[in-house]
Amino acid sequence: MEIKKVCVLGAGLMGNGITQVCAEAGFQVKMRDIEQRFIDNGMNTITKNLSRDVQKGRKTQAQMDEILARITPTLDLKEAAADADVVVEAVVEIMELKKKVYAELETIVPDKCLFFTNTSGLSITEMAAVTKRPDRFIGTHFFNPVPVMRLLEIIRGYETSDETLATAKAWGEKLGKECIVVKEAPAFVVNRILCLMINEAFFVLGEGLASPEDIDKGMVLGCNHPIGPLALSDLVGNDTMLHVMEGLHRELGDKYRPAPLLVQLVRAGRFGRKSGKGVYDYTAK
């Protein structure tokens, strides 16, 4: 099936990144969120990213204008999804919320419409089961920052058809991503490994073994990571990190217990860069 019109649900970190790469690849995109301030933040981020490309000579102003013209931000779910070939859902990582969104979408979208969920680790099969199209439902897991990171992790649910998988792969490649196809399991492949390391960094910090700066420096200089684990958690969102760890803990046991310090930071509203403070303070920068 050929995808032309994309509906992205959520204008947050992942949603606006997915919207940007879709519009850059030539798709018409409707980006929907539930409050105008989320839409405004999302559009500001996209505009800022594209402006940087123009300043650096990677795009012309005309190309930037064309990309922006392909994006329609909206608060109206019907308007966003009624003619979509695919809905890419990037709402908060709460299963019950995602299921609610899918149940509502079922009453809006055309029959041919595919559902792609951008989840950090929730069950594709469980979400698909509340729809009438589990065969046309698949996980497409992007990485932050979406315009920069080259990977798309594709996860089949129990009922996902070969055709849906082929369409998702072709779409990902059109976005300029390298795709890996993995089996469904809590947190899939990349987050299962990555989030455990980040969680361990919070245990190390909580035990007072080193300062946050030195923990991050250790992993950057000692392991050639582009950014330290604590700074990375601030980048992806400590709340998202905690959701992933809670899911892993629930399904796979104590090895994945969220670090108490991570839990405490989230309780304090220190979600990371997006809230101004996380492990580090970004308000002065």
Residues with a known catalytic role? 153
Q: Which residues contact 171 (CB under 8 A, 6 or more apart)?
A: 3, 86, 116, 140
Closest to ligand 3HC by CB, 144 vs 161, is 144
Per-residue binding letters, 235-264, with ligand 3HC (x by CB under 6 A): -x---x------------------------
Q: Does 199 bind ligand 3HC (CB under 6 A)?
A: no
Closest to ligand 3HC by CB, 166 vs 197, is 197
User: Applying CB under 6 A, which part among 1-9, 131-139, 205-213, 232-240 lies near ligand 3HC?
Assistant: 232-240
Q: Does 39 bind ligand 3HC (CB under 6 A)?
A: no
User: Applying CB under 6 A, which part among 71-79, 132-140, 155-163, 224-232 lies near ligand 3HC?
Assistant: 224-232
Closest to ligand 3HC by CB, 161 vs 275, is 275
- Shortest separation between residue 246's beta carbon and ligand 3HC, angstroms: 13
- Shortest separation between residue 222's beta carbon and ligand 3HC, angstroms: 16
- Torsions phi, psi of 148, nearest 5? -100, -40
- Shortest separation between residue 168's beta carbon and ligand 3HC, angstroms: 17
Taking CB under 6 A as the criterion, the residue among 92, 166, 209, 227 binding ligand 3HC is 227
Q: Which residues contact 285 (CB under 8 A, 6 or more apart)?
A: none
- Shortest separation between residue 141's beta carbon and ligand 3HC, angstroms: 6
Q: Does 49 bind ligand 3HC (CB under 6 A)?
A: yes
Residues numbered 177-196 forming contacts with ligand 3HC, rule: CB under 6 A: 191, 194
Residue 140 tokens read as 């497409």
Taking CB under 6 A as the criterion, the residue among 226, 254, 255, 267 binding ligand 3HC is 226
State the Cα–Cα distance between residues 250 and 123, nearest whole angstrom. Answer: 12
- The identity of residue 92, as a single letter, is V
Taking CB under 6 A as the criterion, the residue among 34, 69, 92, 148 binding ligand 3HC is 148
- The identity of residue 219, as a single letter, is M
State the Cα–Cα distance between residues 281 and 268, nearest whole angstrom. Answer: 13
- Long-range contacts, stretch 161-167, CB < 8 angstroms, 24+ apart: 161/135, 161/136, 163/1, 164/114, 164/135, 164/136, 164/137, 164/138, 165/138, 167/1, 167/3, 167/114
State in Å, rounded, how far the first CA of the chain is from the last one. 46
Residues numbered 68-127 forming contacts with ligand 3HC, rule: CB under 6 A: 120
Q: What is the crossing angle of helices 238-252 and 190-206, to 10°?
A: 110
Residues in contact with ligand 3HC, total (CB under 6 A)? 17
Residue whose C-alpha is closest to residue 150's, from 230, 93, 226? 226
Q: Does 154 bind ligand 3HC (CB under 6 A)?
A: no
Residue 198: C-alpha distances to residues 94, 153, 219, 232, 265 (Å) = 21, 19, 11, 8, 14
- Chain residues in the site for ligand 3HC (CB under 6 A): 49, 52, 56, 120, 143-145, 147-149, 191, 194, 226-227, 232, 236, 240
